Structure 1
Amino acid sequence: MLSLYRPGRGWLHRMPAGPKLVFLALIAVALAALPSSWAIVPVVVGLPVVLYACAGMGVLVGATELGRQVWALRWVVVVTAAGQLIFLGPEPAVSNTARVVAALVVVGLLPLTTRVSAMLDAIESGLGPLRRVGVDPARAALLLTVTVTTVPVLARLAAEVRDAQRARGVRPSLSRGALPFLIVALRHADDLGDALAARGIR
């Protein structure tokens, strides 16, 4: 499985995976629950900036990763803001879009500061009590971990396709990048499937 983990020695890296997952989830829920007003925009913009800067990856790396996360969500921003701007007006459109993006990039800190193995162990441990009702914690943990990491991985693969096109002197575009991206995405899916099969999961 392609890992998004970025080594570091900060407090967020040192925090155990289980409490970290709960901590980031609570922050994301709190951001999403804020009222739709101009006053909350500086808060929802500033909090992810502070978290990424202080996460322990280094200020420069943190800023770069935050930029990548936001850039990967650019179409979410466009669609969310445009629809609400038409039907609700500027204040709800800006504040709601900022809340959604902030919540998503905060959750994006989990795979950046947590090894996949630690994430799997934490989720499997947390889902342990559900074994009594027939849920396989190992499979459920794997599903949740793959879900958390898939979107950022695909965003990174898309960025690599664009970088490869620029290196060849080709101007990146949707029409030129769709086929290469589809190929690398399918290759990643095949590799993931092989990794799961090797672990006896089908």
Structure 2
Amino acid sequence: MVTLYRPGDGPWHRLRAGPKTALLLLVVLGICLLPATWWAAGVMAGVCLACYAVPGAGMRELGRQLVATRWIVGVTLVGQLIFLGPESAAANTSRVAVAVALAGLLALTTRATELLETVERAMQPLARLRIDPGRAALTLTVTLSTLPVLASLARTVREAQRARGGGRSLRHFAMPFLVMALKHADELGEALAARGVR
């Protein structure tokens, strides 16, 4: 399974997975409750900058996260501009960008096994409803990691195209990206099957 974790010794890395996940979820919840105004968009950007300004993360990593998700941000912005106008579009797009960037921060500073264990512990009450907490946690963890992994694969394909002197053709990008995404899905499926997940 592809992991986005990058070793480090900054505060985000030292913080245990449970409190870190809860803290970042609270931050995302907080930005979701802000109104769709210009000042709220500024607050969201400031919160994101503050989270990445902590030693061990850095502005360069934030830039990589935002570049990797530029298509999602672009599509969100265009759709919002068409239906809601500039102020709401800026605020709602900021909300999406910050939420994705903070999910990336969690993945970058937390080992996948620690994150899985944390989510599984949080889902233990589901056992009363006859829902397997382990399987639910695994599904959620894989889902949360899918977007950053696909963004990483897209970046790899783009870098390979640039190294070969290729242009920015969508046709030349789509096929290798699709092959890599399907290969990742196969590897993930094999890893899950090897662990007895059906």
Give TM-score scaled by structure 2 length: 0.94
Give matches, 1:122-201, under 5 Å: 122-201=118-197
C-alpha deviation, 1:83, in angstroms:
2.4
Q: Does 1:11 align with 2:11?
A: yes
Q: Distance in 1 between matches of 2:125 and 2:159?
A: 45
Q: Distance in 2 between matches of 1:84 and 1:166?
A: 32
C-alpha deviation, 1:42, in angstroms:
2.1
Kept in 2: contact 1:124–1:138 (CA 8 A): yes
Structure 1 unaligned regions, length at least 5? none
What do residues 51-87 of structure 1 show as CA deviations (whole Å, max 9, x unaligned)?
A: 1120x425xxx22221122122222222222222233
Secondary structure of the 2:131 match is coil
What do residues 98-124 of structure 1 show as CA deviations (whole Å, max 9, x unaligned)?
A: 122112211221111100010111111
Q: Distance in 1 between matches of 2:63 and 2:97?
A: 12
Partner of 1:57: 56
C-alpha deviation, 1:38, in angstroms:
1.4
Question: Structure 1 segments of 4 or more deviating over 3 A?
Answer: none
Q: Distance in 2 between matches of 1:170 and 1:191?
A: 28
Kept in 2: contact 1:17–1:118 (CA 8 A): yes
What do residues 117-138 of structure 1 show as CA deviations (whole Å, max 9, x unaligned)?
A: 1011111111112212211111
Partner of 2:107: 111
Give TM-score scaled by structure 1 length: 0.92
Question: What is the root-mean-square deviation of aligned Cα atoms in Å?
Answer: 1.4
Q: Distance in 2 between matches of 1:105 and 1:87?
A: 25
Kept in 2: contact 1:28–1:104 (CA 8 A): no
Q: How many pairs align?
A: 198
Structure 2 unaligned regions, length at least 5? none
Q: Does 1:70 align with 2:70?
A: no
What do residues 1-59 of structure 1 show as CA deviations (whole Å, max 9, x unaligned)?
A: 110001111221111111211110110111111111111222111211121120x425x
Q: Distance in 2 between matches of 1:28 and 1:166?
A: 35
Q: Distance in 2 between matches of 1:121 and 1:84?
A: 37
Q: Distance in 2 between matches of 1:98 and 1:40?
A: 9
